[in-house]
Structure 1
Amino acid sequence: MSLSGNASFCSNLMFDHRAQEWCIFISRFKQCCTANDIDDRSDKAGVKRRALSLTALVEDTYRVAKDLVFPTDLEDIEYATLVQKLNDHFIAKRSTFAERYLFYKAEQRPGEDLNEWASRVRHLAQHCGFKARLDTALRDRFVLGLVNSKEKEKLFAENIDNLSFSKALEMALNVQCARAALQNADVVSSGSSQPGVERGSVGVFAVRPGAPGRAARASTFSEKVLCVVCGGKGHSKEQCRFKSYSCNKCGKQGHLQRVCNMNVKRNNYVEMHGKDSEVGELFNIKCLKGEPMRLFCGFIGFA
């Protein structure tokens, strides 16, 4: 393949050290060379690879490369030496302890699914130097950093000697899938069997207006409420028919004497008990309003 063909094949590959990561670029560049059959055999002196890599650099990055190889010209430096100098300059030195600190404190984030969490664990382990212990470290951080208790309980019950990182991920995904299926089944079952309940578009249950049992619950609640005007049950102060009457005990408007808390003795009313108390109350009210007493005298035993 000609050089012009190679150049057109990698024409979209560019590197700007101010916005991109050198490790990612050089890895992509090597893949580009492989796709174009450019290797140590076809490019023994590295001339093609040097030319392609330098062409991919933006102007400011090209200037950095030129300064790094000074006093040698970029056209004369070997490809391997050029890459090594760029590696030393753009790849920051890392502390293994600092990388492990970030790795061990990592936990699954809210909204981060299991595959994303597993990928982030792998990324954090790249510069930790685990070597032969890599799979064990990945497995431990993945399991211990899980936020869902169901997946964690399942994995905690496994024999650690037989649990690899990939198997732990697979088991966690299976538990997640089973839990989601069970929740959907419960939603469908509940929505089809309970009267007066309907399923919303997002799986949230809502009670329809007028659903069975609602009136009964409201009735039970209202029966327990005492009216502050008359002391009766089953209605509120605003609904009471005596709310505009005045008390025969204290003279204030808005309540009857049976619920009055004032310690005032009055002689203008008849005190009765039991079923006759309501009649007595009504008698006093009628008298206060100036209505004829003859309407009630026969009822309460007067001639």
Structure 2
Amino acid sequence: MSSSTCIFGGNLNFDHACHEWQIFKDRFVQFCIANDITEENDAAGLKRRALLLTALVDDTYRVVKDLAFPTLLDNVEYKALVALLDRHLEPKRCSFAERSAFYKAEQRAGEGLAEWAARVRRAAQYCGFGTELDTALRDRFVLGLEDAKEKERLFAESVDTLTMNKALELAQGVRCARQALRGARGAGEPPQLFEMRAGSGAGRATPAAAPSPAAQTRAGRCKVCGYRNHTTDQCRFSDLTCQNCNKKGHLRRMCKSRGNNFLQPEDSDIEDDVAV
């Protein structure tokens, strides 16, 4: 790298009080590669040592200087300098403690599936799982899922064939399907269903009785799903089996065998009727 060559990657800096040494070290290696500083053209490590030391903030530089004492930093080789920082800044790891934290990990509220999968992998780095790594990753990913529908879908898979990558793919498929159903529900008007309450006194508001499936059909609702934005012969749910009577041709919300005295408000959530 000549003096006229631009430096790629910007200015690196490392503060041991707030930065992670391993992350910085990995970035420093990439910085050297981007600027064509290699073992071949920097065999003595002079350039890499100079770049590393100038990347340290004052407090960190002072710590490294104290660690090297009585040897001057100018006399410490690059690889020895990195080893010195490794010993001082890399935390001591206890495999059992790391595994304990790994097995307790759970998906956080609002955390995406890809982010949860990445966090599971990060938590397993120092657990020493060896050849059992993929099995451990898959189990923690599945068991730690926050969403019951996604977990239920993965529970249906065989532990002999389900891999970590496949588990992530299936969970993402369930989430995408549910989001698509919500979009479809938003395009049409869901049935407005209310619970019947007997014995309402005078002067108190009393919800109207839920209309029967036949009455809903006469009002222009699909006999299969209860929505108004299509006809019965166009309904994409017509081949699904009712979760109430186990017959095809309608969803649970439109089942005649469940009685007309009340329909629970949660029946307006179509995902429960079409979940696999």
TM-score range, shorter chain: 0.5 to 0.7
Partner of 1:75: 74
Partner of 1:190: 189
> Which digits, 9 at most, give the CA deviation of each residue in 1:235-275, with x for residues without a partner?
xxxxxxxxxxxxxxxxxxxxxxxxxxxxxxxxxxxxxxxxx
**Cα distance between partner residues in 1 of 2:20 and 2:50:** 20
Partner of 2:55: 56
> Residue 15 of structure 2 aligns to a residue in which SS?
coil
Task: Read off the aligned partner of 1:187 and give its amino acid letter.
Answer: G
Partner of 1:142: 141
Structure of higher CA gyration radius: 1
1:114 CA displacement? 1.0
Partner of 2:33: 34
- 1:4 and 1:90, CA in 2 relative to 1: closer, same or farther beyond 3 A? farther
Aligned pairs (5 A) from 1:89-238: 89-191=88-190, 225=202
TM normalised by structure 1 equals 0.62
1:110 CA displacement? 1.4
Task: Read off the aligned partner of 2:142 and give its amino acid letter.
Answer: V
- 1:10 and 1:42, CA in 2 relative to 1: closer, same or farther beyond 3 A? same
Gaps of 5+ in 2: 204-276
> Residue 160 of structure 1 aligns to a residue in which SS?
coil
RMSD in angstroms over aligned alpha carbons?
2.4
How many residue pairs get aligned? The number is 201
Task: Read off the aligned partner of 2:33 and give its amino acid letter.
Answer: T
**Cα distance between partner residues in 2 of 1:4 and 1:88:** 36
**Cα distance between partner residues in 1 of 2:3 and 2:62:** 24
- 1:151 and 1:134, CA in 2 relative to 1: closer, same or farther beyond 3 A? same
Gaps of 5+ in 1: 198-204, 206-212, 227-303
- 1:156 and 1:188, CA in 2 relative to 1: closer, same or farther beyond 3 A? same
Structure of greater relative contact order (alpha carbons < 8 Å, 6+ residues apart): 2
Task: Read off the aligned partner of 1:54 and give its amino acid letter.
Answer: L
- 1:11 and 1:181, CA in 2 relative to 1: closer, same or farther beyond 3 A? closer
Contact 2:9 2:34 in 1 (8 A): no
> Which digits, 9 at most, give the CA deviation of each residue in 1:188-242, with x for residues without a partner?
2325xx6xx7xxxxxxx9xxxxxxx9xxx9xx998x529xxxxxxxxxxxxxxxx
- 1:5 and 1:72, CA in 2 relative to 1: closer, same or farther beyond 3 A? farther
Residues 1:2 and 2:7 aligned together:
no
Task: Read off the aligned partner of 1:29 and give its amino acid letter.
Answer: F
1:3 CA displacement? 5.3
1:62 CA displacement? 0.8
Contact 1:155 1:172 in 2 (8 A): yes
Contact 1:3 1:48 in 2 (8 A): no
1:9 CA displacement? 3.3
Task: Read off the aligned partner of 1:170 and give its amino acid letter.
Answer: E
Task: Read off the aligned partner of 2:64 and give its amino acid letter.
Answer: A
TM normalised by structure 2 equals 0.67
1:11 CA displacement? 4.4
Task: Read off the aligned partner of 1:2 and give its amino acid letter.
Answer: S
**Which stretches of structure 1, 4 residues or longer, exceed 3 Å deviation after superposition?**
3-6, 8-11
**Cα distance between partner residues in 1 of 2:167 and 2:183:** 25
Contact 1:54 1:62 in 2 (8 A): yes
- Further displaced range: 84-93 or 112-121: 112-121
Partner of 1:24: 23
Task: Read off the aligned partner of 2:133 and give its amino acid letter.
Answer: L
1:134 CA displacement? 1.2
